[in-house]
Amino acid sequence: MFPTDTISLRLQITGTGNTILASSTRTILGISLQKENTSKNIYVSCNSETIASLYSSVNVYYQPMQTICYGTITFSTSGSGAGVSSVVLNYVNRDISITTPPPIASTSELFINGFSYGDILVIMMLIVIFTTIFFKTLKEWIFGIKTEGISKIKITSRK
């Protein structure tokens, strides 16, 4: 869903005020806003442009986006009353539209659709083992089991 170098930042402001979340070139991937008091307003802006806001409701919402900010990202609250306002910001430290993702280290485990290479190897070995057992059991059921050893000795009676 997100690139491997995504950073998730969570910040709270009690009362009113503003805080600088990040500065320099960043690609914002999503923002979640929440507040306790309905009389407060929350803004997340890039330079002077508002990119997300929460006015009358206190519900938490998540807004996925792909907004590139070349300046300062600020989180500010205004209005009357006390209460805690919070923001969760998911971003990467680059312009995602023109750069490639950072390389993955060779020591990191690689995954294919949620399975690591070790998981896939174990699954393949188990498939071979269970297939062998299945066909061996099927052959014995159809053709019967050979008897060898003591049960093969025939006892003849003397007359």
Q: 3-class SS at 115?
A: strand
**8 A C-beta contact, residue 92 and residue 65:** no
Interior angle at CA 57, CA 53 and CA 60, nearest 5: 75
- Answer yes or no: is pLDDT of 128 > 90: yes
Q: Considering the entire predicted model, what is its pTM? A: 0.56
What's the confidence (pLDDT) of residue 79? 78
Give the position of tokens 């008091």: 37
What's the confidence (pLDDT) of residue 97? 78
pLDDT band of residue 151 (cuts 50, 70, 90) is low
- Answer yes or no: is pLDDT of 124 > 90: yes
The rounded percent of the chain whose pLDDT value lies above 90 is 10
What's the confidence (pLDDT) of residue 133? 95
CA distances from 13 to 18, 33, 44 (A): 8, 12, 13
pLDDT band of residue 131 (cuts 50, 70, 90) is very high
Torsion of CA 62, 66, 72, 77, to 10 degrees: -20
- Answer yes or no: is pLDDT of 25 > 60: yes
